[in-house]
Structures are given as structure tokens and as C-alpha cells.
Amino acid sequence: MTKKIGVLTGGGDCPGLNAVIRAVVKTAMIKYGYEVVGFRDGYRGLVLDDYLEFKPGDVSGILDKGGTILGTSNRDNPFKFKVEENGNTVYKDMSDRVIENVKKHEIDCMVLIGGDGTLTSARDFSNKGLNVVGVPKTIDNDLSATDTTFGFMTAVETATDAIDKLHSTAESHHRVMILEVMGRYAGWIALEAGIAGGADVILIPEIPYDINKVAQKVIERKNQGKSFSIVVVAEGAKSLDGEMIVSKVVKDSPDPIRLGGIGNAVAERIEKLTGIETRVTVLGHLQRGGRPVPFDRILSTRYGVAAVEMVHEGKYGRMVSLQGNHITSVPLEAAVGKLKTVAPEGELVKIAKSIGLSFGD
């Protein structure tokens, strides 16, 4: 019996999204003869019925491309959707319209690709009776129900490459170089890139830092004849007596807090305490863009294929998950609501400390 699958990408963009779309379309069409409908710009396309009907050639040549050919949005919660009425902005529950649009297209199941926000809505739609399958995506690697999210390893690669480049200029000018990376509540990018790039200090949200201990590490290196230091700081890092630094608040966003500025705050204090010139590089959205590394291309493909297999087997209301090196699935209820954060006493932190890295604690 021919089925029709709907697919969308929600939340922030991420390397590997196109690889998932490609795997979903190819598996559905080649293996099972299913039809695939893509909705543009995340849940917005599902609310407004903005769609395209995939043809096999539509996914040719996109495996290595960053971003998403469907577009995405992290502002359009279908359960609290922004609309204009009589010149006023109001928020409405448009979930029933979403279900109507899915029925209109005779879609058997929606494959929803995204992070915590997208998958929370996926769970809510599942509770309303819509057939859904989730695919975990976030460069922060902070979804608790899967070992790894696609896009994370590419972000780590980008951050590591930046650290490598900062080393040479830091050493040449005898400076402290600070690299600010993404990671609001989870410091996985900072931790893994910091270890891989040979940083001297790593500051993450899970371990509040003492700026005096950070400065002490820099001075110790100088006394050992090492005239430069590399500090990697996650955007959500905070001092023992401080809070996360908020750069702005976006009022019409489901997630209004925008972090930024921690790198400059740390740099100012380090320079004052050590007398060593300190510079900051904010990596920002470079971490989201570019070609996915081979690991993410393969993981994305595995996730996309598994999602279609779940549709074929009628395993709805679940999210594809990587456990060890095995692809399985978990209920959407277990996939959201709890972030996977760095354990302060975990293996990677202990390894980093064993080779002399400081976390400012």
C-alpha cells in the first residue's frame, strides 16, 4: 500500500539537514515507492500549507551541502503561532489547522527533524493523534535520549579549526586568545573542541568558574616560558558569583533570550588581572554552517533511513536515536524536556584536567 510521508526541518539550521532529507526521500521512493511532501520553513510551512512534492532529482547533489533546501524557522510554534488580526499581533493555537493540512495531503506520517523545541511540538502533535516520527538535530548535542545528534561533530570540527588558527597568532603576539563558541546550557562544543584544539582553559555552563583561577593558569604558563594562552568559553558559561550574559531579548520568539558577550567579559578581567593583552573571537553562526563532516553525513543518512523504516513499520510517536553504535528509537515523551549536559565529574572533564587544562574551578 503506497504511503505518503511529509517532512520538515525546524529550529536552527545545522550541517547534515540536507543529508537527512536526501535519505528520507531516497529511501521512501527507491525502497518502498512512497511519495514525499516537504514543508517549507519548519512548522510555518505546515501551518500555511507551503509545500513541495519531491521528485527524485530534487535531492541530487545535496549530501554535502550545509543548511536545508526546505528552509527552517525557530520562531514558529504551531501551538502558539503569531498572526496579525485587525492590526494587532496575537498568538493562536494553529495545531488543528496543521492536522487539517496533513489530512488534506493524505499524509500517513510526518517526519519532523529538529531539536528540543521542534520535538516538543512533535510530541504534542502525537498526543493529538497525528502520526509523527522525530529525528534529533542540534549542534549542541544536548538531547538526552540519543548519544549523538547530527551536526555536532561538524561544529566541533569548525571550532577546533578556529583554535588551531588562533594558536599561531597568539604565540606570535604573546597574547591570550579567547574563542567564544555556542552552548547555552551544555558545554559539549567547548569541551570537545577545547580538548581537540589543545586549549589551556575551558569554561562551560556546567562548571561555574573563578576568574582568579583562570588568571592564575595564564600566569603559570607565562612563568613556565609559555607567553600565550588559549581560552575556549561557551556562551552560557558563568562565574561563581555571576549569571549568563544576555546580549538581547527577542520578544516575539518562543525562546526570547539571546546570549553573547561572555568572551569579552572574560577577556577584560584576564587582561586586568594578568597585564597580558587579550583578544576575543566569537565564532557564532560559523558553527552552524558549511559542509557536514563525513561522520555527520553518515549519521544523518542513518537517521533518515531509520525514520522511513519506522514509518513503514508504523512505529509512530517515537524519535530515532543512536545508542552506542546502534540505531534504535525512543518515545518522544522521553526525548524532550531533559537536556544532556556535561557531567562535571565525567570522563572528558577528568581527561582534560589530567593533561593540565583548567576549568576555572
Q: Say whether domain 154-289 belongs to CATH 3.40.50.460.
A: yes
The pLDDT > 90 percentage for the chain reads 88
DSSP string, 268-304: HHHHHHH---EEEEE-GGGGT-SPPPHHHHHHHHHHH
pLDDT per position in the chain (361 positions), as tens?
679 999 999 998 999 999 999 999 999 999 999 999 999 999 999 999 999 999 989 999 999 999 999 999 888 899 999 998 888 889 999 999 999 999 999 999 999 999 999 999 999 999 999 999 999 999 999 999 999 999 999 999 999 999 999 999 999 999 999 999 999 999 999 999 999 999 999 999 999 999 999 999 999 999 999 999 999 999 999 999 888 888 777 776 666 677 778 999 999 999 999 999 999 999 999 999 999 999 999 999 999 999 999 999 999 999 999 999 999 999 999 999 889 999 999 999 999 999 999 999 9
One CATH from 3.40.50.11540, 3.40.50.450, 3.40.640.10, 3.40.50.970 for 4-150+292-335: 3.40.50.450
**Grid cell 528520507 in the structure block, residue:** 24
b/e per residue 300-322 (b: at least 16 CB within 10 A): bbbbbbbbbbbbbeebbbbbbbb
DSSP string, 181-240: E--SS--HHHHHHHHHHT-SEEE-TTS-B-HHHHHHHHHHHHHTT---EEEEEETT--BT
Residue 118's identity, in one-letter code, is T
3-class SS of residue 53: strand
Cα–Cα distance between 304 and 306 in angstroms, integer? 5
HSE-CB for 334 with a 13 A CA cutoff: 9
Q: What share of the chain is helix, strand, coil (3-state, %, to 5)?
A: 40, 25, 40
User: CB neighbours of 266 closer than 8 A, spacing ≥ 6?
Assistant: 178, 203, 211, 214, 231, 233, 237
What are the residue ranges of CATH 3.40.50.460 in the chain? 154-289
User: pLDDT tens, 28-58?
Assistant: 999 999 999 999 999 999 999 999 999 989 9
Q: Which of 247, 242, 240, 232 is nearest to 280 (CA)?
A: 232
Name the β-bridge partners of 257.
249
What are the residue ranges of CATH 3.40.50.450 in the chain? 4-150+292-335
HSE-CB for 154 with a 13 A CA cutoff: 31
Question: Is the alpha carbon torsion for 69, 73, 74, 77 positive or negative?
Answer: negative
Catalytic annotation, residues: 140
Cα–Cα distance between 89 and 235 in angstroms, integer? 31
pLDDT of residue 28: 97
HSE-CB for 194 with a 13 A CA cutoff: 33
